[in-house]
A and B are shown apart, each in its own frame.
Chain A
Amino acid sequence: QKEVEQDPGPLSVPEGAIVSLNCTYSNSAFQYFMWYRQYSRKGPELLMYTYSSGNKEDGRFTAQVDKSSKYISLFIRDSQPSDSATYLCAMSASTGGFKTIFGAGTRLFVKA
């Protein structure tokens, strides 16, 4: 079993929809949670970073962490065609080195 599980999709939504992207994990030591956006043939770009549990909002993006359920989410409001990309979750622990574990990524298509 992988430490981080992420549905690869693809997820297709109409423009303006609310998108929910999710990851589950098994390592309770994870405390740092990140979301990256990766456009085709580009490197991943850091979107959101959250420490421990709770919510964080940045414009149209909201990241949620539920450590009790080992579940993290990224919500995109008023989705735009320019949001079409692969979204990767990532997480790391505060002990045991600096290793960051990435999810496999979810491909999102926002149709105009």
Chain B
Amino acid sequence: EADIYQTPRYLVIGTGKKITLECSQTMGHDKMYWYQQDPGMELHLIHYSYGVNSTEKGDLSSESTVSRIRTEHFPLTLESARPSHTSQYLCASSEGRNTIYFGEGSWLTVV
């Protein structure tokens, strides 16, 4: 069973606010990811990391930023939230190419 934790699970915030979605994993995985998924829609990779101090943008352009200062921690930040950022954000990690483990997701609503 995967040990990857996301907080908050649900968040409603006003336009223009800064938010950070937290993600932690206890499996010691080098690779971590952030996906964005609208209800009933596909997963879109927005950020990934090979390891500490390594971050890359994914396939879907996103105004969010990420950091990887510790192996187990991969937070995602939106400096100024907009209604278009309303979505589910899924954090994941993996050791190899075959088994990606997901967190429960963070549901963000920007009003």
Interface residues of A (CB under 8 A from B): 32, 34, 36, 41-46, 49, 51, 88, 90, 92-94, 98-100, 102-105, 107
Asked if residues A98 and B31 are in contact (CB atoms below 8 Å), the reply is yes
**Main SS at interface, chain A:** strand
Q: Could you say which residues of chain B place their CB within 8 Å of the CB of A92?
A: 97-98
Number of chain B interface residues as a range:
20 to 34
Q: Which of A34, A99, A105, A107 contacts B98 (CB 8 A)?
A: A34
Query: Is B97 a contact of A100 with CB atoms below 8 Å?
Result: yes
Complex: chain B residue closest to A98, CB-CB? B97
**Is the pair B43, A45 in contact by a Cβ cutoff of 8 Å?**
no
Which residue of chain A lies nearest to B31 when distances are taken between CB atoms in the complex? Answer: A98
Contact (Cβ within 8 A) A51 B102: no
Q: How far is the CA of A45 from the CA of B105 in the complex (A)?
A: 12
Q: Which residues of B contact A51 (CB under 8 A)?
A: 98
Judge whether B74 is part of the interface by a CB distance below 8 angstroms: no
Docked-complex contact A32 and B98, CB < 8 angstroms: yes
Other-chain contact of B99, A49, A94, A99, A107 (Cβ < 8 Å): A49
Are A43 and B103 CB-contacts (below 8 A) given A98-B31, A102-B43, A104-B42? Answer: yes
